[in-house]
């Protein structure tokens, strides 16, 4: 199942959890996964709300233990006890990512770093809850639209810091972002860490058959728009019984390369992870003969193969586009022909 996330005004852990519940994730497995961690003094409540005319779900974590600070190692130990194991693995990955960037920012060790704003009950409930909801829905592929980043400053345990917060920016390395006119924090460190733990891709809407949609509301009220994140669940769509995926095509016009060098570049591209590489003859400007080099590339390999193409060919520019890649199932069989004499 594919989960496409549309962070219209931003993204927080509780908003993503609420959207998944709104899209059909059952709340009891989520509560059970959190309860397995051994965390006490909490309850997860989901309610229906309407924000600027849009119906959505909002979640609240009601607590009797109001401790807001914990060491990252404590949260990781709790998350590792979540059930089932895939839920624990994703939750631990998210918390480890937070611990690593916080330690790097503050110049300390990840195992001993203290989490101030992120050390409360809501962090463990959000992280384990999102992992459990994804597991219950059977999601194995997460795709996210560009994340809108706010402006100005936010208050932290260390005083006023710029928005986006340094930890958030560190966790968003490799993510697609855009600017927004919304002041303050629009993407939380917890949400950024969850996207990393879920191996989220930042691509256009994938080819899929839509099965469900959901909207998760944040607690912040905006004057002119609903403060919600949308999720769309869908099944992969491909032709001829094959599996479809979104891949990139890199293309460059070349008019100053020999056939030997062109063959070398194609071989190097395939070694570096290109799904396919080929060249087509072309007539360039002023009637010059040349070639167009094409690379079929997974989204996560785009930057590396783009750099390889620039270095190996001397091209001054290239074109990048996204296409649907449909592949039929493949296998090997041994077929005996004829019979023994």
pLDDT tens, position by position, for the chain (341 residues)?
899 999 999 999 999 999 999 999 999 999 999 999 988 888 899 999 999 999 999 999 888 765 555 677 888 888 999 989 999 999 999 999 988 888 787 667 666 665 545 546 788 899 999 999 999 999 989 999 999 998 877 766 556 767 787 888 889 988 999 988 888 889 999 999 999 999 998 888 888 889 999 999 998 888 889 999 999 999 877 544 445 677 889 999 998 888 899 999 999 999 999 999 999 999 988 888 999 999 999 888 888 999 999 999 988 899 988 887 877 777 788 888 876 55
Task: Locate 256 and state its tokens.
Answer: 């100053």
Residue 206 DSSP label: P
What confidence score (pLDDT) does residue 240 get? 44
Q: How far is CA 203 from CA 133, 250, 261, in A?
A: 22, 15, 32
| Pairing assessment for the beta strands 208-217 and 228-236 based on DSSP bridges | antiparallel
Check: CB of residue 124 under 8 Å from CB of residue 39.
Answer: yes
The angle that helices 121-137 and 85-106 make with each other, rounded to 10 degrees, is 140
The enclosing H or E element of 31 equals helix 27-35
Q: What is the CA radius of gyration of the chain?
A: 24
Asked whether 70 and 117 are in contact (CB, 8 A), the reply is no
- CB environment 297-328: b (16+ within 10 A), e (fewer): bbeebbeebbebbeebbebeebeeeeeebbee
Query: Would you say 142 and 299 are in contact if contact means Cβ atoms under 8 Å apart?
Result: no
**The pair of three-digit structure tokens given for residue 275, joined into one six-digit string:** 């799904």
Write the CA distances from 324 to 28, 236, 238, 279, integer angstroms. Answer: 37, 11, 9, 20
- Look up tokens 């009797």; give the residue: 64
Reported as a single tens digit per residue, the pLDDT across 187-221 is 999 999 999 999 998 888 888 889 999 999 998 88
Q: Specify the 3-state DSSP secondary structure of 62.
A: strand
Asked if residue 312 lies in contact with residue 268, where contact means CB atoms within 8 angstroms, the answer is: yes
Whole-number Å distance between alpha carbons of 141 and 4: 8
Whole-angstrom distance, CA of residue 137 vs CA of residue 126: 16
State residue 239's pLDDT score: 46
Q: What pTM value is reported for the model? A: 0.70
* Alpha-carbon 188 to chain mean position: 14
Q: Could you tell me which of 47, 171, 70 has the C-alpha nearest to residue 123?
A: 70
């Amino acid at each position: 199942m594919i989960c496409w996330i549309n962070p219209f005004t931003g993204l927080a852990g509780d908003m993503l959890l609420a959207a998944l519940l709104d899209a059909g994730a059952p709340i009891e497995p989520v509560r059970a996964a959190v309860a397995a961690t051994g965390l006490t003094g909490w309850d997860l409540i989901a309610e229906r709300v309407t924000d600027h005319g849009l119906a959505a779900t909002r979640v609240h974590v009601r607590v009797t233990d109001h401790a807001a600070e914990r060491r990252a190692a404590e949260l990781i130990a709790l998350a590792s006890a979540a059930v089932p194991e895939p839920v624990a693995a994703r939750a631990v990955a998210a918390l480890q990512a937070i611990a690593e960037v916080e330690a790097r920012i503050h110049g300390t060790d990840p195992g001993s770093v203290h989490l101030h704003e992120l050390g409360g009950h809501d962090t463990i409930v959000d992280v384990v809850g999102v992992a459990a909801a994804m597991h219950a829905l059977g999601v194995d592929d997460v795709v996210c639209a560009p994340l809108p980043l706010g402006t100005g400053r936010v208050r932290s345990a260390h005083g006023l810091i710029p928005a986006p917060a340094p930890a958030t920016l560190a966790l968003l390395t490799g993510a697609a972002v855009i600017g927004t006119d919304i002041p303050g924090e629009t993407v939380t460190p917890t949400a950024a860490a969850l996207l990393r733990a879920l191996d989220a891709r930042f691509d256009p809407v994938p080819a899929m058959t839509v099965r469900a949609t959901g909207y998760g509301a944040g607690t912040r009220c905006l004057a002119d728009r609903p403060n919600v994140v949308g999720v769309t669940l869908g099944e992969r769509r491909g032709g001829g019984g094959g599996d479809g995926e979104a891949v990139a095509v890199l293309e460059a016009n070349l008019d100053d390369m020999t056939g030997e060098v062109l063959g070398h570049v194609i071989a190097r591209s395939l070694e570096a992870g290109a799904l396919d590489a080929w060249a087509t003859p072309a007539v360039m400007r002023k009637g010059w003969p040349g070639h167009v080099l094409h690379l079929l590339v997974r989204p996560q390999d785009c930057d590396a193969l783009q750099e390889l193409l620039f270095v190996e060919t001397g091209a001054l520019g290239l074109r990048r586009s996204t296409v649907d890649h449909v592949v039929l199932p493949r296998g090997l069989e041994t077929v005996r022909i004829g019979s023994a004499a």
